[in-house]
Amino acid sequence: MRKVAVVGVGMSKFGELWDLNLRDLVVQAGINAIKDANIDGTEIKALYGGTMASGRLIGQEHIAALIVDAMGLNPIPATRVEGACASGGLALRNAYFAIASGAYDCVVVGGVEKMTDATTAEAVTALGGAGDQEWELLQGATFPGLYALMARRHMLEYGTTEEMLAAAAVKNHANAMHNKYAQFHNPITIEDVLHSKKVADPLKVLDCSPITDGAAAVILMDLEKAKEHTDNYVEIAASAQASDTVALHDRESLTEIRAAQIAAREAYRQAGITPKDIDVAEVHDCFTIAEIMAIEDVGFFPKGQGGRATLDGETKIGGTIPVNTSGGLKACGHPVGATGVKQVVELTWQLRGEAEGRQVADAQYGLAHNVGGSGATCVVHILKKP
């Protein structure tokens, strides 16, 4: 297999973007990525697009064809990839294999979701499709409810507190203050989180990622071609994926996501490194408990110690392992199909030293952890600075 590099990245603004439609978001992100890569669109030979619920949210299917048309890239092949909230990471993984296999030398990955055109009830129903409809959603469970079960069990087994959960949200809002693309630019305190309205005890509004519009794009090349094209590339050192049960009640443990553990181990094996070698990470913090479990599952901290590490500031910029420098899903926003691609955009900026105001000093390795549903799918990518 050939080695693969990221040569261009771009995003749209994330947020409640009432004046923009899905096409607008895709075009903004795509143009930014093509400009960043300094290539002509004719060099792109295939497109992989991640989106979860466009049919339910805006009534539009056939998204890959729409994206490639909107970006002016016809007639190249375009493929939609769906894996719930891991759709973007899965699209990137498919594009990675397209380059690694030798099928193409240059491809573009896009992730997009237009969520705010739907009502809250419609959005909740669409997102609920990532769970087990028969055994969870039709019985009244919601995703905040499912993650609340995980939080309560984590509290019971390890003494995790609501203050520890809140600390993850506070950190991510602080990071988003320096990200011009982020949905939120307001600092919050632990007290703000604790006193915000309860959604599913112990999770409160400020423990939860928002409903978001947005798009992100990444351009990949064969590594040798990338070296000829630019000095400003980042290598994809590993791409790994694993699965677990869709229904939460079928799992052996509620305090870990087994798919994340397996995917992370495989990614470290491919990259030939250990968790201690990672300098910056973007993990899937759809809820604050998800970030705490993630930093344990990928090996940054022993199981049960993620909450204490977060409260103690070990995941802040300048800490032991900076996590979610973009603001994460919590504060940068979570347009579900775009999230996994946005993570790689942020890590690329970090490894190139371009994350203004939130730069991790001398970052060499970055890890992206993208989860679908309550953990039935997990994709882990490791990027490295050449």
Active-site hit among 154, 173, 334, 369: 334
Whether 346 and 326 have beta carbons less than 8 Å apart is answered as yes
Let me know: does 187 contact 173? Beta carbons within 8 Å: yes
Calpha distance 356→341 (Å, rounded)? 19
Q: Which two tokens stand for residue 74?
A: 């016809």
Give the tokens for residue 136.
Answer: 């969870």
The DSSP output letter for 213 is B
**Residue that the structure tokens 């092949």 belong to:** 77
Distance in angstroms (rounded) separating the CA atoms of residues 230 and 352: 12
The CA distance from 209 to 333, in Å, is: 7
Strand spans (E) along 132-248: 198-200, 203-204, 214-222, 234-243
Query: Which of 188, 177, 280, 185 has the alpha carbon at shortest distance from 234?
Result: 280
Active-site residue 229, yes or no?
no
Residue 299 structure tokens: 């090996």
Q: Are strands 280-282 and 365-372 parallel, antiparallel or unpaired?
A: parallel
C-alpha closest to that of 233 among 2, 30, 5, 4: 5
Residue partners of 218: CB distance under 8 A and separation at least 6? 6, 8, 9, 33, 92, 95, 108, 109, 341, 344, 345, 348
Amino acid at the residue 220 = L
Among candidate residues 85, 106, 208, 378, the one labeled active-site is 85
- Known catalytic residue at 208: no
For tokens 């419609």, the residue is 122
H helices present in 177-322, as ranges: 190-195, 223-229, 258-271, 288-297, 306-311
Distance CA(69)–CA(204), nearest Å, equals 41
φ/ψ (deg, to 5) at 271: -80, -15
Amino acid identity, residue 356? E
Q: Which residues are catalytic?
A: 85, 334
